Structure 1
Amino acid sequence: MAKFNRQVSYFAIALCVLGVALIAFRHFVSGIPFLPGASQTLWAVEAKIQFEADKGPISVSFTLPNEHAQFVQVNERTASPGFDLMFDEGPKARVAKWSINEAKGKQTLYYLTELKVAPNTAASPADRPTIEKPRFLGSTATAAGSVLSDANTASTHPFDIIEALIKAFQTPNQQAQLLLQKSTVSQRIVQLLMQADIPAREIDVLVLKDGGRQQPLRTWVQVFDGEAVRIFDPSGKYNPAKTPWVIWEQNDGGVIELMGGHGATVGFSMLQKRVPIVSELRKAQAQAEPGLLDASIHSLPLSEQALFKGILLVPVGVLIVVLMRTLVGLKTSGTFMPVLIALAFMQTSLATGLIGFALIVGMGLMIRSYFSRHNLLLVARISLVIISVVLIMALFSVVAFRFGLSEGLKLTLFPMIILSWTIERMSILWEEEGAKEVALQGGGSLFVALLGYMVMTNGLVQHLTFHFLGLQFIFMAIVLMCGSYTGYRLLELKRFRRFLAN
């Protein structure tokens, strides 16, 4: 029966808890997905501002969108040749300000942004508007009272009232038609809500439509009920709960302010695209300094990231070797030589690696057997084997190149020192235990190397080890538990098959 050291067990549990906590942090806080192919929706939005410049200095202020409950801004840039640009981080809104000392004729400015779908993001706070009751006069007052009274008959809840008002203006009766003679639907709805002591305001909203060109901003209504805030389309054309949209301006201000020109217009074009989540996270982490818990391999230069992508797979191979030797009881030549052979297979391709390994080790054993006849010292013998391995690899590479076999050139990726020690150990084992033991350990090494190769080349494994460093603590915990295991190996159980037969 398996027995484990109690203190080691406690330490392993602590490592597992730490590893799981780090993995959870990376997934739920940093947003790293567990699956390598996970993607997200991005909306690329381009605002095209056009105006006629009067001769003289020009100043253009353009309100930029705020983050809200559906989208988060992940990138932005502008195109405005000849204009100076600055961003004003105001208390209520961000504003892009272009200026130039002199310009004339038609001018075009571009603002481009990328918005990420983020349904769980908290809405940016909007100041609750002060209730200012409108002054309706004469027949307008009578019509407003009638429309508002009809809306109040269904419910007194603010959200129900505005829905009733929207329906009333969609199929206007005589009173609703009178209210719309000098005002828009959104203006009258806000006025009627204010009359009912319900805070509301008009906001400029961009409805996102994949492939849309020169789309205008639409005026919707923002309604407050205590802490709750909801958005309504007064025209009834769009359902804000099912339509992708972004608030462009929500603080009772203008979208464009132009000085030194006239005829300013803005049109929006947009495109929906799917991008890998990991690539966007790499961009974000490259632009920001991560915290201590959020530190990752992504903060390193790309060359170092590529190096660690392979290094972080080594613990996976090590874990496989430990499990196969400790629990299964499989014999290997060398403790972790199969891991290095598996890494070599990843660089050379499996078929080339197997053939190269068999050729190098086979020829090395023959050369080693010749050296053993002369009773050389260990250091000299190992050195001669290393030199022989280098010569064998060079010979095979030259021959492969002469015959047009480019795969043969990859044999140089094999770890020469490890191969030399493998040849030395197998040679000694041959002399002491015979060819059968060499075949068992050599075959076991190749089997574990192949198993490690299949696991380490799996896309999911590569993704998890590279993005979740907490896995390394879990690997340590498993190896710790295996290190204190004193039970039977699976291959040792064959000794009890006679009892099963009886």
Structure 2
Amino acid sequence: MASRKPFYLLVGLLIIAGVSLTLHRHYTYDIPWLPGETRQTWSIEAKVEFDATGEEILASLAIPNTQPGFTQLNQQTASPGYGLAFSERETGGDRAEWSVRNASGEQALYYKVDMLLDPYAAPPQTSKPPKLKVHIEKEPYATAANQLLDRAQERSSNPYTLARELIQEFNIQSQNAQLLAQLKPQLNWIVQLLHQAGVPAREVHALYLEDGRRRQELVNYIQVFDGEDYELFNPETGERGRPENLLLWEYHSGPVLEVVGGINSHVTFSMIEQEQPFSVALNQKFADNELLNFSLYTLPLEEQALFKGILLIPVGVLMVVLMRILVGLKTSGTFMPVLIALAFIQTSLITGLVGFLLIVGAGLVIRSYLSYLNLLLVARISAVIIMVIGIIAIFSIIAYKLGLTEGMKVTFFPMIILAWTIERMSILWEEEGPHQVVIQGGGSLLVAVLAYLAMNNELIRHLTFNFLGIQLILMALVLMAGNYTGYRLLELKRFKPMVEDK
């Protein structure tokens, strides 16, 4: 007897691979387990205003990209009469650049971006520490700065605690801190002293996200590096870490806004919080994703709609396998119920059942006449196919004239399968009688209805489309069912007399 170990090993590998892929999709790409979930997005509009002096205009605005906590979905601008280009500077960071030959008077340029709140966001590139820049100040500022830095270093043990202590030194408004504030802002001093201590740091510009806010301005934070990792510090309070509603707008040591040919330039922000179905958000998130992301959301929408139906077929196949092998139902054709169930999804269950019974019933009546013509099999099947097409056309016309628009959906039935079903039932009628036709026909309809209920379930449709690993699990279940050699449920009735005798 052949060993069953390879079989069990194959089934185990399929289940492990399917479960692993499913968990990977959930935890790496934030695919929810249940349908109907939404994702929070922020629509942010930046308004650039300046006074043009009648010369050539070149305006450059720093724009955000995917970063920890946020994924950029799409961006658009409104700038009539201006040329537009998106560029990336060598120091890092994306920018939107507007240009025009000449302009005068008040100007307004708009940039809009949608950001998805995404705990699994993967930035296209990690933030690199800035190069250390040590400034030599004149006296007495140099002495005051050194004394302040020395006190902070005594109470610190790493770059992060040093940044915290420096902020506290300035906040207590000591004599040295007050003297330094006369020369340059506190934030600039903190960054400069961190560089002087050998700690990479820089000023970054961020935006607090609050629903419905208008004409908001950016706030300043300090980005402190400890190797390749970094932490954000609030320069006013010394609080470490990034709040959940804080979006980094410019964090590559560059200016937020540059305008050549204009004066009095400034930028303000308006924002709205929105809830989007997760499928819409993920369609945008994966629109241009890496090759290794095997997500159906990377396909065009037309192909996505096609796969939503195709990926349900294994569910129907599993239902057929379970009902035939474990229960013992007889069907007309092996997987005809699956195709009929697909047609039910398109037509609705009641309309599909009525349409199926009418077409098959009329087909059997006409097929009984063809049996008297003694045609060859190929010609007879061809005649049945043409007959089925004619019946469907007639039923559709009658339904339309009676105002029964649901009846027109019978065109979704697979015509070739219907023709073979009629042929098989007709032969079965002739050889074994109407009783077997009712048994196999009824079994086929029952399995088709059960397959329809499973395939049309919203949770199953969601799981099969979003987690391709489910297909491996379904294959493992089919293999396990195929290995069953015990009694079918419907066969147990044969042993009922033996139990009664006891």
TM-score range, shorter chain: 0.7 to 0.9
Return the match for 1:126 from 124, 128, 134: 128
The within-5 A match list for 1:27-426 is: 27=26, 32-65=31-64, 67-93=66-92, 94-120=94-120, 121=122, 124-130=126-132, 132=134, 135=137, 137-138=139-140, 155-167=156-168, 169-170=170-171, 172=173, 176-191=177-192, 193=194, 198-236=199-237, 240-283=241-284, 285-287=286-288, 291=291, 293-295=292-294, 297-298=296-297, 300-372=299-371, 378-379=377-378, 381-426=380-425
The letter for the 2-side match of 1:354 is L
Cα distance, 1:321 vs. partner? 0.8
Please state whether the residue corresponding to 2:56 is helix, strand or coil: strand
Cα distance, 1:338 vs. partner? 1.0
Instruction: Go from structure 1 to structure 2 and tell me whether the alpha carbon gap of 1:240 and 1:213 turns closer, same or farther (over 3 Å shift).
Output: farther
What are the ranges of 5 or more consecutive residues in structure 2 without an aligned counterpart? none
Cα distance, 1:490 vs. partner? 2.3
CA distance in 1, matches of 2:395, 2:360: 13
CA distance in 2, matches of 1:239, 1:233: 7
Report if aligned partners of 1:57, 1:103 keep a CA contact under 8 Å in 2.
Answer: yes
Instruction: Go from structure 1 to structure 2 and tell me whether the alpha carbon gap of 1:252 and 1:335 turns closer, same or farther (over 3 Å shift).
Output: closer
Which range moved further: 363-372 or 325-334? 363-372
Please state whether the residue corresponding to 2:247 is helix, strand or coil: strand
Instruction: Go from structure 1 to structure 2 and tell me whether the alpha carbon gap of 1:42 and 1:136 turns closer, same or farther (over 3 Å shift).
Output: farther
The letter for the 2-side match of 1:396 is F
CA distance in 1, matches of 2:324, 2:29: 37
Report if aligned partners of 2:167, 2:238 keep a CA contact under 8 Å in 1.
Answer: no
Cα distance, 1:265 vs. partner? 0.8
The letter for the 1-side match of 2:335 is F
The letter for the 2-side match of 1:113 is V
The letter for the 1-side match of 2:54 is K
Report if aligned partners of 2:60, 2:259 keep a CA contact under 8 Å in 1.
Answer: yes
Instruction: Go from structure 1 to structure 2 and tell me whether the alpha carbon gap of 1:116 and 1:392 turns closer, same or farther (over 3 Å shift).
Output: closer
CA distance in 1, matches of 2:499, 2:119: 60
For each residue in 1:459-491, what CA deviation from the matched residue of structure 2 results, as whole angstroms up to 9, or x when unmatched? 232233334444444434433443443322222
CA distance in 1, matches of 2:481, 2:435: 28
Report if aligned partners of 2:71, 2:285 keep a CA contact under 8 Å in 1.
Answer: no
Q: Name 1:436's counterpart in structure 2.
A: 435
The letter for the 2-side match of 1:126 is K
The letter for the 2-side match of 1:276 is P
Please state whether the residue corresponding to 2:102 is helix, strand or coil: strand
Report if aligned partners of 2:37, 2:278 keep a CA contact under 8 Å in 1.
Answer: yes
For each residue in 1:308-355, what CA deviation from the matched residue of structure 2 results, as whole angstroms up to 9, or x when unmatched? 332332222122111211122111122112112111111111111112
The letter for the 2-side match of 1:108 is A
Report if aligned partners of 1:214, 1:268 keep a CA contact under 8 Å in 2.
Answer: yes
Cα distance, 1:39 vs. partner? 3.5
Report if aligned partners of 1:127, 1:251 keep a CA contact under 8 Å in 2.
Answer: no
Cα distance, 1:448 vs. partner? 0.6
Please state whether the residue corresponding to 1:53 is helix, strand or coil: strand
Cα distance, 1:364 vs. partner? 3.2
CA distance in 2, matches of 1:248, 1:396: 62
Report if aligned partners of 1:314, 1:339 keep a CA contact under 8 Å in 2.
Answer: yes
CA distance in 1, matches of 2:91, 2:258: 16
Cα distance, 1:231 vs. partner? 1.0
Report if aligned partners of 1:345, 1:453 keep a CA contact under 8 Å in 2.
Answer: yes
Cα distance, 1:171 vs. partner? 5.9
The letter for the 2-side match of 1:111 is Y
TM (norm. structure 2) is 0.84
Cα distance, 1:263 vs. partner? 1.0
Report if aligned partners of 1:57, 1:101 keep a CA contact under 8 Å in 2.
Answer: yes
CA distance in 1, matches of 2:229, 2:373: 90
The letter for the 1-side match of 2:395 is F
TM (norm. structure 1) is 0.84
Instruction: Go from structure 1 to structure 2 and tell me whether the alpha carbon gap of 1:75 and 1:413 turns closer, same or farther (over 3 Å shift).
Output: closer
